[in-house]
Amino acid sequence: MLELKDIQAAAARLAGQVLDTPFVESRTISQLTGCQVFLKFENLQYTASFKERGACNKLAQLSADERASGVIAMSAGNHAQGVAYHAHRLGIRAVIVMPRFTPGVKVERTRGFGAEVVLHGDTLDESRTHARELAKQQGLVFVHPYDDEAIVAGQGTVALEMLREQPDLDTLVVAIGGGGLIAGMATAAKAIRPDIEIIGVQTERFPAMVNAIKGTHLPQGTSTIAEGIAVGTPGVITEAIVRQKVDDLLLVDEGDIEQAIVMLLEIEKTLVEGAGAAGLAALIKHPERFAGKRVGLVLCGGNIDPMLLASIIERGMVRAGRLARIQVNARDVPGNLARITATVADAGANIDEVHHQRAFTLLAAQNVAIELVLQTRGREHIAQVIERLQQAGFDTALL
């Protein structure tokens, strides 16, 4: 099984090749979560993900013949970019097999790092099978995204850096997909600090490691905003390490992850993808589990689709009461809409959208249902706006 010396050797190989990312306390998030939170900014790596570490460590150990032959990987995201970038940097041919549904921006970004991209299959499993076949046909070295000791050792260097900066951490909270990151980090951290607590986090829609370790049979979903940890089957190597060295596994839902993404964007001014926010989502969902502790979180990636981010921000504003939809029922006569909008303005809210509904309503024919989407300061402000409209004689309700 992997040992601390393997991870220390990986750290020596990675010196100067990947970024030793900042690891700093977030005082505001600490106040909000009830524990002292330190953030490891792996989203600041060149490819915006910790995956570079494992890829670089693996590629740096290839023999001359293997380098001449080239490498192949299967990935729809961060692993693809990590392998592509470091292979190009080291002068090694890289082939990346991606599912056909992979967003074009990820495909082009991977090509931009110098890799040959092959689109094959509708699922990751189909892509993996094809990658294995190409590896045999062309004599390429297959670089697994997580079930490889060299990959796991590279990812474990994250924990070395965290404990160097904050040696008295109580807990490390780490997102789990296939388990490469937490397996490497747990190996390093437990060797340095046997008493440290290692907590893994999975999304409720992809609880493969939880099922494997706890013997549960939780159903698996088809999609999640944390696609970086949407893995159907954990690695053999990683599962064995998690079983031995990880203290607990927690599940978070989509709403927790969305809230964590928005918090990091607003408070820390840093952009993370769904998987990168999973650790903070666990603190949000299980505050009692971490109360008063010194907690290290890994912001493991920052590659998120801009349209998805826009949707998450809007939904976050709705949850916070800063974006609200109300319905005002009024007589359909000239001047009433102007009175309604003036009342909203006087109450200090801003109107985003206005929609008149005359046909699809049970109101009397002379009446109109007016839906307003408002920018507000919070839930208390929404109540004040509704009260002002009601005082003005308009039947108003929150939708």
50 and 298 Cβ atoms separated by less than 8 Å: yes
Q: What is the pLDDT, as a whole number, of residue 38?
A: 98
Q: What is the pLDDT, as a whole number, of residue 20?
A: 97
β-partners of residue 370 are 328, 356
Torsion 213-218-219-221 (CA) sign: negative
Give tens-digit pLDDT for 278-336: 999 999 999 999 999 999 999 999 999 889 999 999 999 999 899 999 999 998 889 99
Q: What is the pLDDT, as a whole number, of residue 164?
A: 98
Q: What is the pLDDT, as a whole number, of residue 229?
A: 92
Q: Examine the pLDDT at 123 and tell me if it is beyond 80.
A: no
Q: Where are the domains of the chain?
A: 4-49+148-315, 51-142, 321-398
Q: In the predicted model, what is the mean pLDDT of residues 49-75?
A: 96
Give tens-digit pLDDT for 96-119: 999 887 777 778 889 999 899 999
Q: Examine the pLDDT at 133 and tell me if it is beyond 80.
A: yes
Give tens-digit pLDDT for 11-54: 999 999 999 999 999 999 999 999 999 999 999 999 999 999 99
Do the first three CATH levels of 51-142 and 321-398 match, i.e. the same topology? no
Q: 3-state DSSP helix/strand/coil percent for the chain, to nearest 5?
A: 50, 20, 35
AA letter at 82: G
Burial of residue 321 (CB within 10 Å: 0-12, 13-18, 19+) is middle
Give tens-digit pLDDT for 79-101: 999 999 999 999 999 999 998 87
Instruction: Report which of residues 363 and 14 the model is more confident about.
Output: 14
Q: Are strands 116-119 and 94-98 parallel, antiparallel or unpaired?
A: parallel
Q: Examine the pLDDT at 55 and tell me if it is beyond 80.
A: yes
Tokens at 358, concatenated: 């005359």
Q: Examine the pLDDT at 76 and tell me if it is beyond 90.
A: no
Query: Which of these CATH numbers, 3.40.50.1100, 3.30.420.40, 3.40.50.720, 3.30.1440.10, describes 51-142?
Result: 3.40.50.1100
Q: Are strands 36-40 and 294-298 parallel, antiparallel or unpaired?
A: parallel
Comparing 81-90, 125-134, 179-188, the range with the smallest average pLDDT is: 125-134
Average of per-residue pLDDT values in the chain = 94
Q: In the predicted model, what is the mean pLDDT of residues 138-166?
A: 97
Q: Which DSSP symbol is given to 292? A: T
Give tens-digit pLDDT for 240-279: 999 999 999 999 999 999 999 999 999 999 999 999 999 9
**Confidence band for 360, pLDDT divided at 50, 70 and 90:** confident
**Confidence band for 363, pLDDT divided at 50, 70 and 90:** confident
Burial of residue 399 (CB within 10 Å: 0-12, 13-18, 19+) is exposed
Q: Which fold has domain 4-49+148-315?
A: Rossmann fold (3.40.50)
Tokens at 368, concatenated: 């109109």
DSSP of 138-169, one letter per residue? HTPEE--SSSSHHHHHHHHHHHHHHHHH-TT-
Q: Can you state the angle between helices 336-346 and 379-391, rounded to 10 degrees?
A: 140
94-98 sheet: strands from edge to edge: 116-119, 94-98, 71-74, 141-142
Q: Examine the pLDDT at 373 and tell me if it is beyond 80.
A: yes
CA dist., res. 224 & res. 211, Å (int): 18
CATH class of the domain whose range is 321-398 = alpha beta
AA letter at 397: A
